[in-house]
A and B are shown apart, each in its own frame.
Chain A
Amino acid sequence: MSTFLDYKKEIMDAAHDEKIRVALSRAIKSYRANVMSAIAQFPHTIELAKEVKTIKESAISRMQQLIEIACNSIEANKGKAYIAKTGEEANKIIASIVGKGKLVVKAKSVTGEEIGLREYLEKQGNDVYETDLGEFIIQKLKSKPMHILAPAVHVPKEDVAKLLSKLTGKKIPPDNIDNMVTTARELLREKFFKADVGISGANVIAADTGTLFLIENEGNIRLATSAPPVHIALIGMEKVVSNLGEAFKVAEVTWRYANYTMPTYVSMISGPSKTGDIEKVITYGAHGPKEFHVIFLDGGRIELAKHPILCQALYCLRCGGCLYECPVFSVTAGHFGDKYFAGIGAVWAAMLSDNREKGAALAYTCLTCGRCKVRCPMNIDTPEMVVELRRLLTQS
């Protein structure tokens, strides 16, 4: 029981932390207003979400087959595709591509968080920079992400100013967010161009063309995936759909429920950079990366896909909407979580991270109130999954 008691203490400390509560209540209010206006402006999203659910159901039911097709497409585009059975294997593959003593710029990746990629590469003697502003803040604070889309959702601006002042040696005023953003831009700018490797995830991947979709607003993913000579993408197998048309639909529903009418950037990457401008000879590594590596992570997904109830966790688009509707999350933030958060995070902890004690603790923290399901564009029945998980973990 000690794991459970430690965990209980952690979430109770969080629940008494006024900072978390204030930051979260602001975030929830703004999320709800934004998602409502985004959907009002593009009302077809609701029907599209239903279609995407059938796309995901069908894709997850033949995930392995689609991954094979995706690998072939990527290889045909002169990229390199890998399948990693475990997180450990994925880390090893990536480390062998990166090498040692390299400068790495990283886009935010929940899958990277899942396998502890940054820490692994750092241990190999590499200098790794998180380039998403929220993730950069978290990295420098030596904290852990508290939301899948807004990792620093629990850090107030005063703390960000303090951190940036320390990093730059300059006095950053606590009320000037503009100044903070410029400072972070200056700190990271040269890293993108000096980096040996850029690492990203992907929001969805089309098997037939091998195309990765990357949704963002900051522009850090664009830079990290195009400026360095090598691009590595780590992707959970559940991100695959059969074709480009489906991938567009998945992407649109993802950003809409992540409360954006339209994100500033959507990158579609299918292979290494190339040119045919000199005598029509295809030459790789023009302005973008010369090498393009895609690692597909199984990490328990293939097994999970076979479970009639828990497979729903793989339909998740990672829009993060459910977290804003969870009453427990609203007072504890990511402390109610492991690598992924809240009720659905329990399934992830137990089944993919193989952390049963943590998975059970999270499963019993879920109220099974079901408001997450109302929000979820995939209508994922988290209460049903949580009860099934409780049964699996305690009765086997």
Chain B
Amino acid sequence: MEPKSKVTIPPGLLYIADNIKIKQNILGTSSELKAEWAKNLNLRKKSETIFFAGCGYQYTAGVESLMSLIRKMDKSLLGSELPMTLAGIQRKSGLDITNLYSKLTVKNKYAEGEVLIDAVKVLRNLGIDFGYLGDEEPCCGGLLHYAGMEQDFINNSNKLYDKFKSLGVKRIISIVPSCTYTLKNLITQHIRSSKIEVLHFSEVVLKNIQSVTLQFPRKVKVTYHDPCQLSRYLHLIDEPRRIIKAIKNVEFVETNWTNREWSTCCGGGAGFEAVFPELSEILAVNRAKELCDTGAEIIVTNCPGCLMQIKNGLKKLKNDTVKVLDLAQLISMAMESK
């Protein structure tokens, strides 16, 4: 029952999909730039267990500025031509415009990949041995699947699996929820013979957490936002909570009703934010409100998309007292303080 006529994919998604296909990352930036966060960490490439960094955290500042650009132009153009134009300029000029744009606009110039640096530190402190593929890390391609471009996704999956196999990868510690689900559940639907074990960062941390003492520098009220892909897709609901609760000085509070598998989506997902940037912002504000209603001083989450959305939601609410941290950052802070 294949439908007769073809319908076009919204341009915002096509833009990102093209970046994945051509440059193996969502922003269309160079692969050297992609691994820059890790340049001082001395992570070796060759290892049976690798840390899979994914796109989202590596380009936090880049994605944030791209999104604010998309939002601004969406309001004037209703988003029809913008991503196409962006892609056109990018390809013709060879300029890395998103990177350029982020350098110009990121005010509190925090480093790209700061969450990843913390995640590596946390894993090392827990005594876990792993490598990192650096500029050879492929894009999981999940977005191709969610955009509806299944054949492209299958092609990407095959390339990615061959790469893993040729590098002798046997185990992956993945940190972005969406990449984790793609590597663990989607790719394996096409490559059934895959024996690569895929674990999420929170699973690995929880398994090894007894070896360290975790204490936050001061008494603090913390709530947790479940990323959709982690809670409803991967069913990793207790893991992050048990980690947070293991940290001394932390009082853990839940949102009313909208927690665990009932958690409200941050408003970003499957490229939604690129197609409906303004609506996505409204949903981010709604979720930020629910989280603030807990009275927490820190909102912890576990996904670069959620991190960006909730931060933006708080900004729109003009709330500068509540902080948003990634789970890796919270653990890292709790490791430092003892």
A51, CB-defined interface residue at 8 Å:
no
| CB-based contact B286/A364 at 8 Å | no
Total contacting residues, chain A, CB less than 8 A: 45
| CB-based contact A394/B149 at 8 Å | yes
Q: Bound complex: CA of A314 vs CA of B225, how far in Å?
A: 33
* Closest chain B CB from A64 CB (angstroms): 16
Stretch at the interface among A7-15, A38-46, A291-299: A7-15
| CB-based contact B6/A393 at 8 Å | yes
Stretch at the interface among B27-35, B158-166, B211-219, B261-269: B261-269
* Closest chain B CB from A335 CB (angstroms): 11
Q: How many A-B residue pairs have CB under 8 A?
A: 120
| CB-based contact A387/B282 at 8 Å | no
- Whether A327 contacts B283 in the complex (CB less than 8 A), given A367-B272, A369-B269, A371-B264, comes out as yes
Q: Bound complex: CA of A389 vs CA of B8, how far in Å?
A: 13
| CB-based contact A387/B146 at 8 Å | yes
A182, CB-defined interface residue at 8 Å:
no
| CB-based contact B232/A395 at 8 Å | no
* Closest chain B CB from A396 CB (angstroms): 4
Point out the residue from A1, A5, A374, A391 that lies within 8 Å of B150, measured CB to CB: A391
Beyond known contacts A5-B78, A307-B1: 9 more, CB 8 A cutoff: A9-B78, A12-B278, A327-B267, A364-B275, A367-B272, A368-B269, A374-B232, A387-B148, A393-B6
* B78: chain A residues within 8 A (beta carbon): 5, 8-9
B138, CB-defined interface residue at 8 Å:
no
B295, CB-defined interface residue at 8 Å:
no
B276, CB-defined interface residue at 8 Å:
yes
| CB-based contact A367/B286 at 8 Å | no
Q: Bound complex: CA of A252 vs CA of B170, how far in Å?
A: 50
* B262: chain A residues within 8 A (beta carbon): 325, 371, 374
The chain A residues found within 8 Å of chain B, CB to CB, are 1, 4-5, 8-9, 11-12, 15, 32, 303-304, 306-307, 325, 327-328, 330-332, 350-351, 356-357, 359-360, 363-371, 373-374, 387, 389-396
| CB-based contact B228/A369 at 8 Å | yes
B110, CB-defined interface residue at 8 Å:
no
| CB-based contact B282/A370 at 8 Å | no
* A15: chain B residues within 8 A (beta carbon): 278-279, 282
Q: 11 A-B contacts, Cβ less than 8 Å apart? A: A350-B3, A356-B5, A357-B7, A360-B8, A363-B148, A364-B9, A374-B232, A374-B262, A391-B148, A395-B149, A396-B2
* Closest chain A CB from B301 CB (angstroms): 14
Point out the residue from A11, A351, A356 that lies within 8 Å of B7, measured CB to CB: A356
Point out the residue from B1, B80, B263, B286 that lies within 8 Å of A306, measured CB to CB: B1
B23, CB-defined interface residue at 8 Å:
no
* A332: chain B residues within 8 A (beta carbon): 279
Q: Bound complex: CA of A374 vs CA of B2, how far in Å?
A: 29
Q: Bound complex: CA of A143 vs CA of B178, how far in Å?
A: 40
* Closest chain B CB from A306 CB (angstroms): 7
* Closest chain A CB from B134 CB (angstroms): 31
Instruction: Select from chain B the residue with minimum beta-carbon distance to A363.
Output: B148
- Whether A331 contacts B8 in the complex (CB less than 8 A), given A369-B265, A387-B146, comes out as no
B147, CB-defined interface residue at 8 Å:
yes
Instruction: Select from chain A the residue with minimum beta-carbon distance to B264.
Output: A327
